[in-house]
Amino acid sequence: MANRWRNTLTSDDVTPEAMFVNRRQMMAGAAALGLGLTASPLRAAGLEPNSFEDITSYNNYYEFGTGKDDPARYADQLTTDPWTIKIDGLVEKPGDYALSDLVPQMTIEERIYRFRCVEAWSMVVPWNGFELADLLELVGVKSGAKYVAFETVLRPEEMPGTRFPVLDWPYREGLRLDEARHPLTLLATGIYGKPMPNQNGAPIRLVVPWKYGFKYAKSISRITLTDQEPPTSWNMANAREYGFYSNVNPEVAHPRWSQATERRIGGGLFAKREPTLMFNGYDEVASLYQGMDLRKNF
């Protein structure tokens, strides 16, 4: 297990495998003690994360409003403790899992990932979290399962934005089972070694770094294993603009804008746009899509 994850950041990231393994153990120990982790020796090694301030003040979380600063303003209304996730569908051990029981059984790691929103801005985020694959292993996936569906909690009394039919609530997302099991795919419980801020999807949210940000369902309250492609909120809202796969792809334009370049948040008003990379730079996922037409299955 410890060696399962290869260093997959960028060519300019030089994290040595040995250090990574130690870090995994260290994070596991720290998680067991309920500690967050802060300074990372890996952080200097290439990808420079955005500031905590950038990551927690420029957000998309429409349950709290559609403005980028609405989540930071209103999401503190969300009660995130206690928290349970219903895990159901094609699993051996369905049930309501208390997060306080679940997280200590998982290996919490730090993963510094590029993050690309479909709106053509980007950040680099130092997530803390565990591999979704490990949770799927724990609950036991039944044969016949082909997809994983995720739901965000829906609490109109705590989520002022849900009084408006901007999306068909609850916010729903989904992955194919092999995507869900890919070692890059995380359930994130923190940022910068701190518990996940509410505006970023406390207490637990999905992270799939080769896909557009809207796939990263926040504040997850239900995970369902199914044999059918699950309906997803943005796809239901506009299937022409938001595909089920939504892999980052500089060659497939959004109907209303190009996806060839991106604006890195925090770079300043006059910063040059950066080229967007296929699969957001995570080329190792390409084999998942062999034989598929990524223009059709966008």
Residues within window 76-105 making contact with ligand MTE, judged by CB under 6 A: none
Is the Cβ of residue 138 or residue 167 nearer to ligand MTE in the bound state?
A: 167
Is the Cβ of residue 130 or residue 171 nearer to ligand MTE in the bound state?
A: 171
CB of 119 to Mo ion, least distance (A): 6
- How many C-alpha atoms does 55 have within 13 Å on its Cβ side? 23
Is the Cβ of residue 139 or residue 196 nearer to Mo ion in the bound state?
A: 196
Ligand-binding annotation for 217, yes or no, is: yes
Q: Does position 60 bind ligand MTE by CB under 6 A?
A: yes
- What are the backbone dihedrals phi and psi of residue 131, each rounded to the nearest 5 degrees, phi first? -75, 130
Q: Does position 214 bind Mo ion by CB under 5 A?
A: yes
Is the Cβ of residue 145 or residue 175 nearer to Mo ion in the bound state?
A: 175
Is the Cβ of residue 118 or residue 187 nearer to Mo ion in the bound state?
A: 118
| Binding test (CB under 6 A) with ligand MTE, winner from 213, 230, 243, 281 | 213
Burial (CB count <10 Å: 0-12, 13-18, 19+), residue 146? middle
Residue in the block written with tokens 């130690």:
22
Contact 46, 14 (CB under 8 A): yes
Residues within window 102-161 making contact with Mo ion, judged by CB under 5 A: 117-118
Name the binder of 62 from Mo ion, ligand MTE, none, CB < 5-8 A by kind.
Answer: ligand MTE
Q: Does position 59 bind ligand MTE by CB under 6 A?
A: yes
Query: What residues form DSSP beta bridges with 211?
Result: 247
SS3 (DSSP) at 105: helix
Q: Does position 200 bind ligand MTE by CB under 6 A?
A: yes
Residues within window 163-182 making contact with ligand MTE, judged by CB under 6 A: 171
CB of 91 to ligand MTE, least distance (A): 22
Handedness of CA 197, 200, 206, 209 (dihedral sign): negative
Name the binder of 63 from ligand MTE, Mo ion, none, CB < 5-8 A by kind.
Answer: ligand MTE
Cα Rg of the chain, angstroms: 18
| Binding test (CB under 6 A) with ligand MTE, winner from 50, 152, 185, 232 | 152
DSSP, residue by residue, 130-159 = EEHHHHHHHH-BPTT--EEEEEE---TTT-
Buried-state track 239-278, b at ≥16 Cβ within 10 A, e below 16: eeebbbbbbbbbebeeeeeebeebebbbbeeeeeeeebbb
Which amino acid is located at 103 in the chain?
V
| Binding test (CB under 5 A) with Mo ion, winner from 213, 230, 243, 281 | 213
CB of 216 to ligand MTE, least distance (A): 5
Ligand-binding annotation for 146, yes or no, is: no
Alpha helices in 149-282 (DSSP H): 177-180, 233-237
Residues near ligand MTE (CB under 6 A)? 59-63, 117, 152, 171, 200-201, 213-214, 216-218
For the annotated binding site, the residues are 59, 62-63, 117, 152, 200, 205, 216-218
